[in-house]
Chains A and B, each alone.
Chain A
């Protein structure tokens, strides 16, 4: 084979690579990057309690982290099994149990319950509730609106008399989808 033939072959391959690369670059600059839509899909599946138990400030940051592939999908305890299963279906992965490091191991949906005999009405649990499910005022005893409570456990820590505990959701006609 002569030197010319080798030169021609190199030039052809190089020109082709340039053409393909140029076309791809042009296409990439014209098409919109659409990762945001993935984030929205993920966020729609999260329970929106903004409870931060996953280690991220809220549901949106967690959804963004999942979309970037940084974290597993098993860190969202408030929704019980449901969000993990929905996320696993979204990504075509095997469903997995909740990571026990980021909340209680799966035992069905729970809601907070205040022992009203022990409640001193300090109102410290009110501001931490992400869904405003605790009703009460200073020096009056508080109670939990079970319909709204997501079982995020954020009210347990601030209570000075430890009168709040989590109890399983009792299934009824209005809450059948929340029970285990």
Chain B
């Protein structure tokens, strides 16, 4: 149990996928202009990450390994992730068309969010079991969501600030992201992993 908790903590805070490992930066910058859209994106990514890590473990453990097809994992995982993302898009469109509009192109682009493939590959690398894979995926998703929500909230407040003209828009956002990454380095050493 402690092991699982540490795994989740490590994936979400200590080795935060966005701010420490620099994975999934595209939606991090792209969908953080408004808090509501960021919250939707965080939930969608959490869902995709958890489901995709569970399914990719099953595929790895019961199909690829017995058949000796380990070298196919990148291709097969991408296919799997694309399927899960497409399913998520269908679900979001059916339940909340407004969120679907707000997320726009970034929803299908979760497929190319390298954090998702990264989690699947890191699960294989770390030889995680099914439960561990799910916890790791969910932890990574929670960490991604946390970083995204914090960043979106900061950017909304920045909108009303008197930013020097040269820094307005993307530059101040990137500076903010850098400062957040520095802050997240403070989690280093939390737990033993």
Contact = CB atoms under 8 A, between A and B. Distances in A.
Contact of B83 (A12, A20, A32): A20
Contact of B69 (A12, A27, A32, A33): A12
B67 A90 contact: no
B79 interface: yes
A31 B97 contact: no
B190 interface: no
Given A41-B98, A90-B98, A24 B33 contact: no
A33 B37 contact: no
Interface in A24-72: 24, 27-28, 31-35, 37-38, 41
Interface of B: 33-34, 37, 59, 63-64, 67-69, 72, 75-76, 79-80, 82-83, 86-87, 90-91, 93-95, 97-98, 100-102, 104
Which secondary structure dominates where chain A touches chain B?
A: helix
A38 B63 contact: no
Interface of A: 5, 8-9, 12-13, 16-17, 20-21, 23-24, 27-28, 31-35, 37-38, 41, 90-92
23 contacts: A5-B68, A5-B69, A8-B69, A12-B72, A13-B75, A13-B76, A16-B59, A16-B63, A16-B80, A17-B79, A23-B83, A24-B86, A24-B90, A27-B87, A28-B90, A31-B90, A31-B93, A32-B94, A37-B97, A38-B97, A92-B34, A92-B37, A92-B102
